[in-house]
Amino acid sequence: METTCSASKKRLVFLLFFFAVGVMAFGAGRREDPVETARSLIARNQLNEAILVLENVIRNDPERIREAENLLRTIRRIRGEYNLLFEELIEHIINNPDDLERTLEIIAEMEALDEFPNPRVRRQIDEARVTAQLAYDRTVLTGILETARESLAAGRHAEAVRTYLTGFSLQRREFEERGYGEIFQNAVESARAEIVAQATDFASRADDVVLTARRLATDIREGELERADAGFAALMEDIVALDEARSAVVAAHAVLVRQRSQVGLQFPDSPVDWHLVFLNTLTTGRQDIEAREGIVSIIDTAWDTVATELSDTIATRLAEKTQEYERFIEQAEWSRVTAETESIVQLNKLAQRALLLAERRVDVPEMTITEIRELELTDAATVAFARYDVGAESARVFADLSAIVVQTDEAESLETEDLEDLRIRRRVFESLHDELDILFAGWTDSANLYRDFVSDAIQTEDATRISSVIEFTTTRLGDEFIRARDGEIRAVVRAIEIEAERIEGTVDPIAERITDIDTLLEGVDESDDPESVVVFRYPDRALEEYEELRVEAVEVRDAHRAIVETYAEEKPYVLGDDRFAEVLSVVDSQFERVSEALARIDDGIARAESAIDEAVALIAEGRELVMQARSAIAAAQLNPAETAWSNARDRFFEALELREDPNTRSETDALIRDVGLELQDLRNRLVVQEVRELVTEARALYGRDDYYSAREYLLTARELWAQTNPTDPNSEVESLLRLVSAAIAFADERDVTETHPLFPIVGNYLSLARSDFERGRNLYNSNNVAEGDILLRRALENLRAVRDIQANNWTAKLLELQITRLREPDNFGEIFQARYEEAVSRRSDDAVAALTDLQALREIQPGYRDIEALIVELEIELGLRPDPITQARIAESNRLLNQARGIADTTDRNALTVAASLLEQALEANPENTAARNLLDTVRVTLGGRATVALSSADEQQYRRAEAQFIEGNIAQAFVIVERLFLDENNRAYPPLIDLRRRISTRLGI
């Protein structure tokens, strides 16, 4: 529109300039008329014709020249005013191009001054006026459209229509001046008048229609449905009139469209008639605008406003009432359901009428759901209609259902525990669910019909609501049907329960008794200490109690069987009901539980008998193994004796685990202990002998500086000794082991073996240093001192690296001395003496370093001063060699030996213990005292082992439990049990318990 206006304005400027040329050339005509004719023409503003006449007067009638000049002067004055208006017009267009209204005023003034210019000028003025008028009218039209849109947005429909009607005169003058035929022009005039009449009529009633709709909406919101029904009928009368007005406007508009299409036939060079264009726009709006425009759209909008407001109001009210209605149903407030049913039906019917109104169906009578298809509504509208129909039908169903529910509630309230009353109650429920069956069948047919509207339709909210109502109603009907049938079933179920309760209390006691008796077989904790568990089993008592309980269980089983057989022939729907099945399953399960209890009793009897038989057999087998162990002991066959004795212990333990018998327990504990002592005497003799051999070999290895092998022998001897003397270490083994350990520790300080973690690093440094030393020494011997010294200095650097890692490395220290002697032969004596004195001074601070330095110095100069004596002293101080055996020590050793001999020839255990202590002291003073060594071995054999040979069977049970806990990773529990066993002094000497305690302590880090 703006582009068109701009083009029109440019064209107008061009025409006006062109027109100016015509004005300036107005005097080109020829003189034809006399003075009076000219004066008359001037009066009629026909100036061009007057000029032509006056020219002839001047040319042909000199006597009238003055008159002619006066008239010409008048014309020039008028022309002057005309030119001034022209100049004003030019200036106005340049400075105010958008003020088309003033432009048209100036043109009108110019036409008033010269109404009949020459044809060429006339055409130019007409074109300028038409162009300016069109641009102006377009602007006016735009304003009308915008104003009407604002009115429409504010809901002022009548005002919007009246605004559109103000534009019906736009370009009308141009239309009438164009020269159409009478038929053409009359058709347009008639159509225009029809539109104006209908639009005016609509404007007069539009606000009343909206007001009527709002009053109707208010009635609906306030629940005045009867008044709303009457109001809807009144509204429809207005809507019918509205529909007729719209149809008339549309028909008249069609005439305008047809006439507009014929303009080009009459005016091929100018096929557009802007008056018709504007009428079309004002009637139906612009085609390129999405927003509603035009009188037809206003009527449609008013219609839609009424329909939408009613639909929304009804939908809101219906949603509220439906929600309330469904809540009454959910809360079983059936009296309120009955009271509200008619409202729900009416609201759904009103919703259907509002829907048809929105679909422009104003003459449709009340229709059924099947008839609605004939209207050929949109799928969405059809589904919406079905939604409201199903809502009304559902409400009618619930009205019928409420009466049945009340009767069902009354029947349910008649609780009874009498079997005959329960039978009467059952018959009442049968009648109710027959009524529900009929109601449910009718609803099912309706629901299937409604589902047809949803199955192929777009899944809108209405379609979802139809499905929801169908599901809700079907579910509630089904629930009540089930409830009525359940009432019957519950009567049957309760009858079964009453009969079953009479014997119900007999099953659990039987099961509890079985559990109690099972405990006698599985184990009874008879410990006084809550922290310990001592389990005993009593199969003899269990067998006796099982047999008594079996008689009682058989009687209970037969009673349950009678109930099951009585109700086995019930109706199919009773038999198929879960609750009936459940109560029967309870009876069945009780029957099964009694049967299972009988099976458990029989199994318990079998297990008790089996435990008794197995325990008897194990005791017999254990006694046989004891006899085998004693035979092996007599033959000094240690391994067979230990195997038989251990197996006998296991048999006795297993037998007592199966069958507790205090007499048997006391007897077997004593038997195991006695044989264990006999076995320990044999084992002790062999241990003393073998330990002696291991100590002798270890001492020899120590003398050969094979410390690691000596330690292995001594550790084996220690472990072997602990088998019979777990709490009394062997003094010889421990003394020699201290010497060996000290020697190993010293060796680790000064040497790096191949197994040492630092060997790869230290060995590499030493290898490099030794290689550089050998090569450097060869160069020295070849008088190539400079190059040799480079290698020797590098060797010293590698040796210092070794010393940084292992400060007392003997090889490094020795090699350093050799390098120093090679590099400084003249000063080496002084250096050697300084090193010697330094080592002596470090004796009290770092004896290991001092000893290593002295041994390296001795390697360079063996007989230097008192170096050998110092080395011996340091080795004794460091425990690397025993104190020298002096005559005083030999004498002391012999004195202790003689004292021991005086008391060793006895069987008194205390005296023998003292003798053993004296002999150990004698060997400490003189390890080479062979007589003391032999007598000590004899005394040790006589004393026997000091280990506890066996735990009591009760403690053995605890020990094995602790061992199992340890294996399973329950270290803390195992620790508690072991520490409790250690409270018994006798148990502290039991080697397996000591070993388990050590392993537990290791795992716990204590």
Cβ within 8 Å of residue 927, ≥6 positions away: 699, 732, 882, 885
Q: Give the angle 93-96-100 at the CA atoms, nearest 5°.
A: 70
The CA distance from 790 to 823, in Å, is 11
Tell me, what's the pLDDT at 548?
92
Query: Which tops the pLDDT comparison, 726 or 80?
Result: 726
DSSP codes joined into one string, 630-675: HHHHHTT-HHHHHHHHHHHHHHHHHHHHHS--HHHHHHHHHHHHHH
The CA distance from 470 to 404, in Å, is 20
> Could you tell me the pLDDT band of residue 17, with boundaries at 50, 70 and 90?
very low
Cβ–Cβ < 8 Å for 730, 721:
yes
* Domain ranges across the chain: 2-138, 155-306, 371-504, 507-609, 757-884, 886-945, 951-1006
Joined tokens for residue 881: 């060699």
In DSSP terms, 536 is beta-bridged to 524
In DSSP terms, 272 is beta-bridged to none
**List of long-range contacts for 222-231, beta carbons under 8 Å, 24+ apart:** 223/317, 223/343, 225/343, 225/346, 225/347, 225/350, 228/350, 229/346, 229/350
Query: Which tops the pLDDT comparison, 987 or 836?
Result: 836
Helix ranges, 331-418 (H): 334-358, 379-413
* Three-state SS at 825: coil
Cβ within 8 Å of residue 221, ≥6 positions away: 313, 316, 317
Tell me, what's the pLDDT at 819?
92
Alpha carbon dihedral 924, 926, 931, 936, in 10-degree steps, equals: 0
Which of 360-369, 428-437, 766-775, 837-846 has the least mean pLDDT?
Answer: 360-369
Phi, psi dihedrals of residue 536, rounded to the nearest 5° = -120, 145
Query: Which tops the pLDDT comparison, 110 or 266?
Result: 266
Which of 295-299, 530-534, 572-576 has the least mean pLDDT?
Answer: 530-534
Which of 27-41, 167-181, 373-387, 918-932 has the least mean pLDDT?
Answer: 27-41
CA nearest to 939, candidates 795, 787, 778, 728: 728
Tell me the three-class secondary structure of 413-458, residue by residue.
HCCCCCHHHHHHHHHHHHHHHHHHHHHHHHHHHHHHHHHHHHHCCC
The CA distance from 613 to 607, in Å, is 10
**DSSP-derived secondary structure letter, 525:** E
Residue written as token pair 């009567």: 491
Length of the chain: 1006
The CA distance from 566 to 527, in Å, is 52
The CA distance from 128 to 134, in Å, is 10
The CA distance from 529 to 681, in Å, is 35
What does the pLDDT average to over 552-566?
84
Of the chain, the percentage scoring pLDDT greater than 70 comes to 85
Residue 778, CB-side half-sphere exposure with 13 Å CA sphere: 5
Which strand (E) or helix (H) includes residue 307?
helix 294-330
Residue 133 has pLDDT above 90, yes or no: no
Tell me the three-class secondary structure of 886-913, residue by residue.
CHHHHHHHHHHHHHHHHHHCCCCHHHHH
**List of long-range contacts for 413-417, beta carbons under 8 Å, 24+ apart:** 417/494, 417/498
Residue 902 Ramachandran class (φ > 0 left, ψ -120 to 50 alpha, else beta): alpha
Joined tokens for residue 318: 């219906």
The CA distance from 916 to 945, in Å, is 13
DSSP codes joined into one string, 454-501: HHSS---HHHHHHHHHHHHHHHHHHHHHHHHHHHHHHHHHHHHHHHHH
> Could you tell me the pLDDT band of residue 119, with boundaries at 50, 70 and 90?
low
Residue 526 Ramachandran class (φ > 0 left, ψ -120 to 50 alpha, else beta): alpha
Tell me, what's the pLDDT at 1?
45
| pLDDT per residue as tens digits for the range 588-619 | 878 888 888 899 999 999 999 999 999 899 98
Report which listed range, 328-332, 615-619, 925-929, is most confident: 615-619
Residue 945 has pLDDT above 60, yes or no: no
Joined tokens for residue 68: 């002619």
Residue 416 has pLDDT above 80, yes or no: no
Residue 3 has pLDDT above 50, yes or no: no
Report which listed range, 153-167, 338-352, 490-504, is most confident: 153-167
Residue written as token pair 């777990």: 726
What does the pLDDT average to over 311-336?
82
The CA distance from 214 to 226, in Å, is 16
Q: Give the angle 764-769-771 at the CA atoms, nearest 5°.
A: 95
Q: Give the angle 73-83-66 at the CA atoms, nearest 5°.
A: 5
C-alpha distances out from residue 36 to 32, 58, 66, 602, Å: 12, 13, 13, 157
| pLDDT per residue as tens digits for the range 687-718 | 778 888 898 899 889 888 788 888 899 998 98
Residue 27 has pLDDT above 80, yes or no: no
Tell me, what's the pLDDT at 493?
86
Residue 515 amino acid letter: T
Tell me, what's the pLDDT at 901?
80
Angle (deg, nearest 10), helices 2-24 and 119-153 = 160
User: Mean pLDDT in the chain?
Assistant: 79
Tell me, what's the pLDDT at 449?
80
Tell me, what's the pLDDT at 985?
74
Tell me, what's the pLDDT at 121?
55
Count the neighbouring beta carbons within 10 Å of the beta carbon of residue 501: 10
C-alpha distances out from residue 170 to 124, 145, 166, 194, 273, Å: 22, 13, 8, 17, 11
CA nearest to 209, candidates 240, 228, 235, 246: 235
Tell me, what's the pLDDT at 606?
93
| pLDDT per residue as tens digits for the range 237-251 | 777 777 788 888 889
**DSSP-derived secondary structure letter, 524:** E
What does the pLDDT average to over 415-430?
80
Which of 50-64, 613-627, 652-666 has the least mean pLDDT?
Answer: 50-64
What does the pLDDT average to over 766-795?
90
CA nearest to 288, candidates 691, 677, 493, 1: 1
CA nearest to 195, candidates 268, 274, 256: 256
Tell me, what's the pLDDT at 124?
58
The CA distance from 945 to 688, in Å, is 10
In DSSP terms, 535 is beta-bridged to 525
The CA distance from 563 to 495, in Å, is 11
The CA distance from 532 to 526, in Å, is 10
Cβ within 8 Å of residue 164, ≥6 positions away: 144, 148, 199, 282, 283, 294, 295, 298
Tell me, what's the pLDDT at 545?
92
> Could you tell me the pLDDT band of residue 794, with boundaries at 50, 70 and 90?
very high
What does the pLDDT average to over 355-384?
67
Residue 179 has pLDDT above 70, yes or no: yes
Residue 30 has pLDDT above 50, yes or no: no
Joined tokens for residue 980: 């409790």
* Three-state SS at 161: helix
| pLDDT per residue as tens digits for the range 228-237 | 777 777 777 7
